[in-house]
Amino acid sequence: MAHKLVIVESPAKARTIGGYLGSGYVVESSIGHIRDLPNNAADTPAKIKDKPWGRLAIDVDNGFEPYYVVPRDKKSHISKLKQLLKDADELYLATDEDREGEAIAWHLLDELKPKGIPVHRMVFHEITKAAIQEAAANPRELDMDLVEAQETRRILDRLYGYEVSPVLWRKVMSGLSAGRVQSVATRLVVDREKERMAFKVASYWDLEGTFDAGSKHDQRMFPAKLHSIDGTRVASGSNFGQDGQLKAKADVVHLDKRRAEDLVAALADTSYDVRSVEAKPYRRSPYAPFRTTTLQQEASRKLGMSASVTMSVAQRLYENGFITYMRTDSTTLSGNAIAAARAQVQELYGAEYLPDAPRTYASKVKNAQEAHEAIRPAGDSFRTPAQTGLTGDQFRLYELIWMRTVASQMKDAVGQSVTIRLGGAAGTGEDVVFSASGRVITFHGFLKAYVEGTDDNAAKDDQETRLPNLQEGDPVSAASLSANGHETKPPARYTEATLIKELEDREIGRPSTYASIIGTILNRGYVYKKGTALVPAWIAFSVVRLLTEHFTRLIDYDFTALMETVLDDIARGEKDRVSELSEFYYGSERLAGLQRLVTELGDIDAKELATFPVLDDDGAESGIDLRVGKYGPYLEGPDDGSGTRVRANVPDDLPPDELTVEKAKELLANPAGEEIDLGVHPETGLQVVAKNGRFGPYVTEVLPEDAPKGAKARTGSLFKSMSLDTVTLDDAVKLISLPRIVGVGEDGEEITAQNGRYGPYLKKGTDSRSLTSEDQIFGITLDEALKIYSQPKQRGRAAAAPPLKELGNDPVSGQPVVVKAGRFGEYVTDGEYNATLRKDDSVESITIERAAELLAERRAKGPAKKAAKKGAKKTAAKKTTAKKSAAKKAPAKKAAAKKS
């Protein structure tokens, strides 16, 4: 039977809308984007792989034409949609009405290719029966200008990310990344840390007292603070700047301890009178209903949920029909929602809390796309939290959303704020004024339902301080007075919630990505969490420095906002996508293009980039440098002219702003870190210790201070079977005795056994042979050693690697194909060509057909040996780097994955 096919983005939405449209309609979802640029080489179609721009999947030479693919996990879904389309007599593309939604609609059209049936673009902002039916009755055309704007955004992000990231691989560390959003987020965290490092603590003092209004007042005692001396204000926290120091223009008295205490003494006999009473009406309007970022902030402040936890809990609430869509930048409530909230206000708080007219909230977000409603309880009447039957996190998050929504339709809170000034004369003749402020809320309004949390210790909106009802001229006495010292505090580190807020304020990122932005910069190792604070790692300093020095425009805080302006122009048909992308990539008279920036890297000095002088409190250089190395951050002591500088590791979890000159000196004084005393060597009498070094744990002798120049401490790596915790003095004595002389060969040359870079081995002159186990170093006899030397050298190597699996014969070469485990992972070989298994292959699942495919691909590239010989040295060096950094990265990723 023929039907009309409606495609929306979200499955949950499809279910709801299906119910509103009734029979005759089939509502399905696209589940987000259905096509994208290929993610990596494995997903890149063969026909563009070999193009110079194949890696980008954007033909930068021909109008920046993008090459889209349907990701593997979406293929079956696309077939399902195609199947549904076969029996459809009309197609409604009902994706979200924003830039991305318009593009999804176009991708659907382009991929499904409906033949001979009408296609409509249907849009709605509310999911109510009336709104959906009206939308279906009044469809529009696809807005191709808006699609162009989306493609421009997508292409620009790809060019930025996939061109700049490789620069970081070459200059900083393999596997790193750069992007329009993550790099700015990282920069924010790094810049904040730099502010903290430049911060110098200042102290200031003030006076606080408890005053007595006399027995005729109900509220007799009240607190007040010193306000001014002889008409000049006393310095308080707000007079100090971001650097911690008194602002240059501050016309204030800066009290120190002595002056403050002297003043307390001079005020011992002072009586006061009320100089002024200033009352102002206090009025506070409700907060707007939740959008993604405000929900994430409040869930963090009140429920202690991370952004990603908040989103997944909200997702479950959404899927089960408890709340509206949770990825939104809109604070707008539908008419039904306003009515539901108002009904609930009436019911729970009474008519006096209900404003005469419904409240509406305009979006504060500058680049808001408003495709959805605010986040609120779902339905035309709200369920109270108790009525939902929810538990745990879902209950608590629902309650938060429900309260916020209901409160948004309540009356303002009103009251009075009062400032009272008290004056008196000090014994020294100075005129002093104290100030007391109070707030009384006479009608709580929405505050009765919902009070927003605060990030620092700022007063909450419902906080009250009552003052006595004093009049000008009334006498007041001081019950107690004290001098209090304060210190200026550095700007606080970002938390997930405050960083997200900052990004939103700067129009960077979208509701669907805020939580994952945090994930990205954590996973790359740019930042780590210390409690809830985001602390930048030193490698982030290197990356931000490279980007600010060489890609200044791209990491500018305004880059995204400027891009949005251009995209809006494209969406209105006023600018052309190709010329904008061309300017971005190839440059113009006024701008350097990205392509030139990433190819002309000669002046990027990787070493300099990774070096940060450790500065003292006055910002002067100490001669000590922090450097970001392959093994993490380390310190280099001052150059004393000896040619070598003392080095020391910096603990991974030492926040950059805690690396003072004193701390650096302390670390340099004990460069090796912890060492374990094993005792005294029975023969030499020297102390023997175990340490962790560059190549892992090892033992070494401690040479006496009067040891002759040039004397070297003997060392030895621990065997793999040993560990720092369990190694004994006996083990150590044996290890440092190496190499062991096994005997003399037939040619008169000495054969020794030892441990090295590639494991245990025998050495005879320049001829070396691997051993299979570390125990052989001590156990092997001369006869066995001679036997090994009697065999040709190749043998030990080949014998060590039996194939993991035999697959049969290759159809092309006819040779047997086997799977082997190699240095770079598992690979298949037919004896001549080797091909590494790809991400989706495994030893268990691989077939001869797949192996033949891999070998055919490999064969197409020609023999490897010639290529390998070219610039062999350079390649070898690079390989080592890549391998080490990969090895280093793996555990970090695992740890991150475990947490989440």
> Which parts of 708-767 interact with DNA (CB under 7 A)?
712-713, 715-717, 754-759, 761, 763, 766
CB of 194 vs DNA, minimal distance in Å: 21
Instruction: Tell me the β-bridge partners of 253.
Output: 234
CB of 482 vs DNA, minimal distance in Å: 51
Q: For residue 691, how many other CB atoms are within 10 A of its CB?
A: 15
Question: Whose Cβ is closer to DNA: residue 2's or residue 864's?
Answer: 864
Part in contact with DNA (CB under 7 A); list of ranges 24-32, 110-118, 263-271, 653-661: 24-32
Residue of 25, 160, 325, 526 marked active site? 325
Among 864, 877, 890, 900, binds DNA (CB under 7 A): 864
CA 523 to chain centre: 7
Among 64, 160, 287, 290, binds DNA (CB under 7 A): 160
Among 65, 111, 157, 749, binds DNA (CB under 7 A): 157
Is 416 one of the binding residues for DNA (CB under 7 A)?
Answer: no
Is 815 one of the binding residues for DNA (CB under 7 A)?
Answer: no
CB of 586 vs DNA, minimal distance in Å: 19
Q: Tell me which residues in 180-209 interact with DNA (CB under 7 A).
A: 180-183
Among 698, 742, 753, 776, binds DNA (CB under 7 A): 698
Is 656 one of the binding residues for DNA (CB under 7 A)?
Answer: no
Over the window 632 to 651, marking each residue x when it contacts DNA by CB under 7 A and - when it does not, the resulting string is x-x------------x-x--
Residue pair 437/234 in contact (Cβ under 8 Å)? The answer is no
Residue pair 396/390 in contact (Cβ under 8 Å)? The answer is no
Amino acid found at 808? G
Q: For residue 594, how many other CB atoms are within 10 A of its CB?
A: 23
Is 872 one of the binding residues for DNA (CB under 7 A)?
Answer: no
- Give the interface size with DNA as a residue count (CB under 7 A): 117
d(CA 336, CA 146): 30
The kind and range of the H/E element at 873 are helix 872-899
The kind and range of the H/E element at 82 are helix 72-86
Nearest CA to 327 out of 290, 352, 280 is that of: 290
Among 28, 96, 148, 393, binds DNA (CB under 7 A): 96
Is 887 one of the binding residues for DNA (CB under 7 A)?
Answer: no
CB of 553 vs DNA, minimal distance in Å: 15
Is 577 one of the binding residues for DNA (CB under 7 A)?
Answer: no
Nearest CA to 226 out of 502, 433, 454, 468 is that of: 433
Question: Whose Cβ is closer to DNA: residue 588's or residue 875's?
Answer: 875
d(CA 37, CA 155): 9
Active site residue 450: no
- Look at residue 300 and give its three-state secondary structure: helix
CB of 41 vs DNA, minimal distance in Å: 4
Per-residue H/E/C for 550-609? HCCCCCCCCHHHHHHHHHHHHHCCCCCHHHHHHHHHHECCCCECHHHHHHCCCCCCHHHH
Is 858 one of the binding residues for DNA (CB under 7 A)?
Answer: yes
CB of 766 vs DNA, minimal distance in Å: 6
Is 870 one of the binding residues for DNA (CB under 7 A)?
Answer: no
Q: Tell me which residues in 419-438 interact with DNA (CB under 7 A).
A: none
CB of 114 vs DNA, minimal distance in Å: 21
Is 9 one of the binding residues for DNA (CB under 7 A)?
Answer: yes
Question: Whose Cβ is closer to DNA: residue 227's or residue 681's?
Answer: 681
Name the one residue in this structure whose structure tokens are 């440092």: 736
Cα angle, residue 150 at apex, residues 148 and 154 outer, rounded to 5°: 115
Is 99 one of the binding residues for DNA (CB under 7 A)?
Answer: yes
CB of 866 vs DNA, minimal distance in Å: 9
d(CA 45, CA 42): 8
Residue pair 101/9 in contact (Cβ under 8 Å)? The answer is yes
Residue pair 804/826 in contact (Cβ under 8 Å)? The answer is yes
Is 770 one of the binding residues for DNA (CB under 7 A)?
Answer: yes
Is 671 one of the binding residues for DNA (CB under 7 A)?
Answer: yes
d(CA 399, CA 384): 8
Q: For residue 619, how many other CB atoms are within 10 A of its CB?
A: 9
CB of 758 vs DNA, minimal distance in Å: 3
Q: Tell me which residues in 512-551 interact with DNA (CB under 7 A).
A: 512-513, 517, 520, 524
Over the window 579 to 618, marking each residue x when it contacts DNA by CB under 7 A and - when it does not, the resulting string is ----------------------------------------
Is 41 one of the binding residues for DNA (CB under 7 A)?
Answer: yes
Q: CA separation (Å) from 89 to 94, 123, 376?
A: 16, 19, 36
- Token representation of residue 860: 């197409």
Is 158 one of the binding residues for DNA (CB under 7 A)?
Answer: yes
What is the DSSP annotation of 373-391? Answer: --B-B-SSSPPPHHHHT--
CB of 761 vs DNA, minimal distance in Å: 3
Among 492, 868, 877, 890, binds DNA (CB under 7 A): 868
Nearest CA to 324 out of 380, 407, 408 is that of: 380
Question: Whose Cβ is closer to DNA: residue 440's or residue 892's?
Answer: 892
Among 696, 704, 811, 862, binds DNA (CB under 7 A): 696
Residue pair 436/419 in contact (Cβ under 8 Å)? The answer is yes
Question: Whose Cβ is closer to DNA: residue 117's or residue 876's?
Answer: 876
What is the C-alpha radius of gyration for the chain, rounded to an integer number of angstroms? 36
Q: Tell me which residues in 296-355 interact with DNA (CB under 7 A).
A: 315, 318-319, 325, 327
CB of 713 vs DNA, minimal distance in Å: 7
- Token representation of residue 513: 């990505």
Question: Whose Cβ is closer to DNA: residue 174's or residue 408's?
Answer: 174
d(CA 351, CA 438): 29
Question: Whose Cβ is closer to DNA: residue 535's or residue 736's?
Answer: 736
707 contacts: CB under 8 Å, gap ≥ 6 = none
552 contacts: CB under 8 Å, gap ≥ 6 = none
CB of 658 vs DNA, minimal distance in Å: 20
Part in contact with DNA (CB under 7 A); list of ranges 197-205, 295-303, 406-414, 629-637: 629-637
Among 130, 201, 279, 672, binds DNA (CB under 7 A): 672
245 contacts: CB under 8 Å, gap ≥ 6 = 200, 202, 488
Part in contact with DNA (CB under 7 A); list of ranges 11-19, 125-133, 210-218, 229-237: 11-19
Part in contact with DNA (CB under 7 A); list of ranges 121-129, 271-279, 482-490, 815-823: 815-823
Is 82 one of the binding residues for DNA (CB under 7 A)?
Answer: no
Part in contact with DNA (CB under 7 A); list of ranges 39-47, 528-536, 657-665, 701-709: 39-47
Over the window 553 to 572, marking each residue x when it contacts DNA by CB under 7 A and - when it does not, the resulting string is -------x------------
d(CA 297, CA 292): 9
Nearest CA to 84 out of 172, 131, 25, 168 is that of: 25
Is 850 one of the binding residues for DNA (CB under 7 A)?
Answer: no
Q: For residue 150, how many other CB atoms are within 10 A of its CB?
A: 21
Question: Whose Cβ is closer to DNA: residue 120's or residue 327's?
Answer: 327
Among 548, 838, 848, 850, binds DNA (CB under 7 A): 838
Question: Whose Cβ is closer to DNA: residue 553's or residue 824's?
Answer: 824
Nearest CA to 797 out of 771, 762, 767 is that of: 771
Sheet holding 647-649, edge to edge: 611-615, 621-629, 632-636, 647-649
Residue pair 396/309 in contact (Cβ under 8 Å)? The answer is no
CB of 397 vs DNA, minimal distance in Å: 16
Residue pair 512/241 in contact (Cβ under 8 Å)? The answer is no
Active site residues: 325
